[in-house]
Amino acid sequence: MSALLALVLAAAPGCPAALAAADVPTDDLASRAPALVEALDQAGAGGPTAALAASARAAAAAAPAARDAAVAALRGALARHCALASLPAVPAASAADRAALSEVLARPELAQARSDPYALRRALLRLWDRIVELLGTEEAERYASLGRALFLVVAAAALVLVLAGLRRRSRERGTRAREAAHLARAVPEADESAARAEEALGGGDGRGAVRYALLAALGALERAGAVPRGRALTNEEVVAMATSTSTSEGAPPATAAIASDLGALAGTFDRAVYGGLPVAPEEARAAVERARRIARSAGASA
């Protein structure tokens, strides 16, 4: 064993095996280059192997025309690495040296210099170089093909979802139109509502009497033009509109009576129909009477 080999073996136990493994044909070394560096790391490389690993990846990914040059560069990098690993270690700094260095670095003029403004830039450049290197490999090309196929599948699925959403929205619009038509048919006319309110009151159906009484009052107000047709407003909005009309300048006295009766009738309706509370016979009679007064006042105002 030569003195140089003994030094290499002592400083980096994995170097002799790595040098021997590198003495193979070019194609074999190119295919096994990353594994060679990994084995060197596990056996003991005697120093950092980042540059050596980069050279191994370049050799493995090199095209056939450039493979000889890449493998030659890998052999040179491996030889330099092992030569450096065989050099004697540099003496470590003494405690006095470290204390002197700490004193120098503690000076105010060097406080800003200790921060590295280009560290992020260098890290991003290294990441970019790594990405570019990976994009040139056969594995990246396979992933690119898979990515294109995946993109087409996702695009087709998105198109199907959009079409399904449009069809569902069209069905919902049709359903809402049918429901609106059904509700429009379900709401009785004003005169019929008044008759049904009287019938429910006579039959002891307090909640039904209150419901039809409010419908009769709204029908009378719609015919008089006091509220818009279509029943699109809530009870609170109808009452607010009637109240604002009654307080406007020049409003006829009948509008104040309408606003008062309509507010009381809407309150009874909310408690009975929306709240589900029981309706006393007196409340039902009062609701029907208020609907009658609203109809008379609305007719007088019109």
Higher-confidence position of 278 and 187? 278
Tell me which of 154, 186, 218 is where a domain ends. Answer: 186
Does residue 153 sit in the same domain as residue 201? no
- Which of residues 163, 186, 209 is at a domain's end? 186
pTM > 0.85: yes or no: no
Per the structure, how many domains does the chain have?
3
Looking up residue 235, the CATH number of its domain turns out to be: 1.20.120
> Which pLDDT tens digit goes with each residue over 262-287?
888 888 888 888 888 888 889 889 98
Q: How many CB atoms lie within 10 A of CB 263?
A: 18
Q: Are 148 and 213 contained in the same domain?
A: no
Question: Based on the domain organization, do 213 and 152 belong to the same domain?
Answer: no
How does the average pLDDT of the chain come out, rounded?
Answer: 78
Same domain, 259 and 226: yes
If asked whether residues 78 and 142 sit together in one domain, one would say: no
Are both 206 and 250 inside the same structural domain?
yes
Q: How confident is the model at residue 257 (pLDDT cuts 50, 70, 90)?
A: confident
- pLDDT at position 254: 57
Does residue 98 fall inside a structural domain? Answer: no
Greatest CA separation for the chain: 125
**Assigned domain for 106 exists:** no
Residues 137 and 172 in one domain: yes
Give the domain extent around 26.
1-89
- pLDDT of 74 strictly over 60: yes
Confidence of residue 76 (pLDDT cuts 50, 70, 90): very high
Share of the chain above pLDDT 90, in %: 5
**Alpha helices in the chain, H assignment, sequence order:** 3-11, 15-22, 26-43, 50-61, 67-86, 95-105, 119-135, 138-186, 190-202, 206-224, 235-247, 253-269, 281-301
Whether residue 216 is found in the same domain as residue 254 = yes
Read off the pLDDT of residues 283-301 as tens digits, 9 standing for 90 and up: 889 988 988 888 887 765 5
